[in-house]
Amino acid sequence: MTPFDPASGLPVALALRLVTIAVTLLAGRRHTVARRVAFIGSAIASVVTGMTAAATLWAGAPLHGVLLVHRASQFSLSYTLDGLAAWFLAVLSILAVPIAVFSIGYVADDRLRHRSAFIGVAFNALVGAIELVFAAGDAFTFLFAWELMTLASAALVVTEHEERSTRRAAYRYLVMSHVGTGCLIAGFLVLAAAAGSLSFSAMLAGHVVSGPMRDGVFALFFLGFGVKAGIIPLHVWLPEAHPAAPTNISALMSSVLIKTGIYGIVRVCAFGLGVPRLSWGVFVIALGGCAAPDLRSGTGTARGGRGRRVRLQRRDFRRGHVRRCRGRRPRPACGRLHSRLSAATPGDSQRAARRDGRSRSARRNAN
C-alpha cells in the first residue's frame, strides 16, 4: 500500500476545490482571508493533480473511475487517466501552482481586492473544469466540464465589468465559444448514435463512422476545438478577451485554456476517428500557411490584438501611478512621470501640446 493512491487523486483534488470554494464564499467579506484560502487551496489541489498525473505516467497504465452518478437519469461523471490525459494534467499542474501563488499578491491590488472572493471562486472552478476536460471518460462529462470552463473563464474576463471594452470582449468570447460548443455537441451526437454509447472507449474506437460521414464529423470537431484553440480565422475572440482579463487569468488562459482545444483535436481528430485522411493534414497545413503571412507582417487581427494589449497595459499603469500619487504632496518626479503617461497613447502628445499652448496664451493675456 503506497502513501499516495493515484486512483483517488483526481476525486480528492476536485473535492479540495469544492471545499475551497465553499470556505471562500463563507469568508467573502473578509477579503484577505478569502483570497488566501482560495489560491492556497487551489495550489494544494493542483499539487495533488500533478502527483496523480506523474504516478499515471510512471505506471504506464490508465486509471478509470466515477465521480458522480445520478440514479434517476443514470447519467454519470466518469474519468479516465491515460498517457495523453496525464501529460496535459501534468502541464496544467506545473503552471497552475505558480499562477495561484502569484494571484495571492496580485488580487490584493486596490482595484481587485473587493472582488477577491469572486476571483478565487471562479479561478478554482476554471482550473477544476480544465482538469475534468483532460480526464473526462465520456461525452457527457466532457461537455459538462467544457461548458463550465467556458462560463468560468468568461466570468473572469469580465471581472472589471465597468469597462465597455471588457464587456464586449466577454460577449464575443461567449458567442464564439458557444458556436464551437454547438459543433462539438453535433459531433458527439453523431458518434453516440453510431456507437450506441456515450463512453469515449466506444465512441472514439476509430471505426464508428466512415466515408463522407467521417469527414463531416472531423469538420465539426475541428471547428469546435479550433475556436477554443484560437486557430485563425476562428480566433476573433482572442485578441480582446486575453488583454481584458486580469493578468493572472490571462496567463492561465494563454498557457492552458487554449491548449484544451489542442487536446481535443489530438484526442478526437488524430486518434478517435481512425487513421487521419491525408486531406485532413493538407487542410490543416494550408490553414496554417494562410495565417502565417498575417502573423509575420503584423497586420490584421494580430496587430490589432497587440495594440489593444499595449493600450490596456498603459491604462493599468497610469491608474496605478495616479492611485499611488493620490493624496500625496506633488513632487517634480511624479509630475514629469504623469505627463509622460498622459501622452502615452497615439494622439495624446499633440493634444497635450495644444492644451499647454492655450494655457500659456491665456496667462500672457491675463498679464
pLDDT, one tens digit per residue, over 134-184 is 998 888 899 999 999 999 998 988 888 877 888 888 888 888 889 889 999
Evaluate whether residue 339 is within a structural domain: no
- Spatial CA neighbour of 142 closest among 191, 199, 86, 87: 199
- Would you say residue 296 has pLDDT above 70? no
Query: How would residue 49 be classed by pLDDT, with cut points 50, 70 and 90?
Result: very high
Give the cell for residue 179.
458556436
Q: Are residues 171 and 281 in the same domain?
A: yes
Query: How would residue 212 be classed by pLDDT, with cut points 50, 70 and 90?
Result: confident
| In contact, 284 and 184? CB cutoff 8 Å | no
Q: Are residues 81 and 218 in the same domain?
A: no
CA distance 124 to 130: 10
pLDDT at res. 124: 93
For 244-271, write each residue's pLDDT tens digit: 888 888 888 888 888 898 898 888 888 7
Q: Are residues 42 and 95 in the same domain?
A: yes
For 78-103, write each residue's pLDDT tens digit: 888 888 899 999 999 999 999 999 98
Q: Are residues 43 and 178 in the same domain?
A: no
Q: Are residues 305 and 174 in the same domain?
A: yes
- Would you say residue 224 has pLDDT above 80? yes
Q: Are residues 12 and 81 in the same domain?
A: yes
32 vs 335 pLDDT, higher one: 32
| Span 30-41, average pLDDT | 88
Q: Are residues 234 and 129 in the same domain?
A: no
- Would you say residue 47 has pLDDT above 90? yes
Q: In terms of residue numbers, what domain contains 259?
A: 161-322
Least confident of 72-81, 87-96, 115-124, 219-228: 72-81
Evaluate whether residue 154 is within a structural domain: no
- Would you say residue 3 has pLDDT above 70? no
Q: Are residues 74 and 30 in the same domain?
A: yes
Evaluate whether residue 271 is within a structural domain: yes
| Span 190-203, average pLDDT | 86
| Span 288-297, average pLDDT | 58
Evaluate whether residue 84 is within a structural domain: yes
Evaluate whether residue 239 is within a structural domain: yes
Evaluate whether residue 145 is within a structural domain: no
Q: Are residues 208 and 297 in the same domain?
A: yes
Give the cell for residue 35.
483570497
| In contact, 248 and 106? CB cutoff 8 Å | yes
Among 175-179, 303-307, 349-353, the range with the most confident prediction by mean pLDDT is: 175-179
Give the cell for residue 255.
498557457
Evaluate whether residue 333 is within a structural domain: no
Give the CA-trace dihedral at 48, 52, 55, 57, to 10 degrees.
Answer: -130
- The length of the chain in residues reads 367
Q: Are residues 297 and 228 in the same domain?
A: yes
Query: How would residue 358 be classed by pLDDT, with cut points 50, 70 and 90?
Result: low
Evaluate whether residue 364 is within a structural domain: no
Q: Specify the pTM.
A: 0.77
CB under 8 Å to 195, separation ≥6 — which residues? 202, 203, 205, 208
- Would you say residue 1 has pLDDT above 50? no
pLDDT at res. 299: 42
- Domain count of the fold of the chain: 2
Query: What share of the chain has pLDDT > 70, as a percent?
Result: 78
Query: How would residue 209 be classed by pLDDT, with cut points 50, 70 and 90?
Result: confident
pLDDT at res. 133: 93
110 vs 354 pLDDT, higher one: 110
Return the SS3 of 5: coil
Q: Are residues 103 and 183 in the same domain?
A: no
Q: Are residues 98 and 217 in the same domain?
A: no
- Would you say residue 290 has pLDDT above 80? no
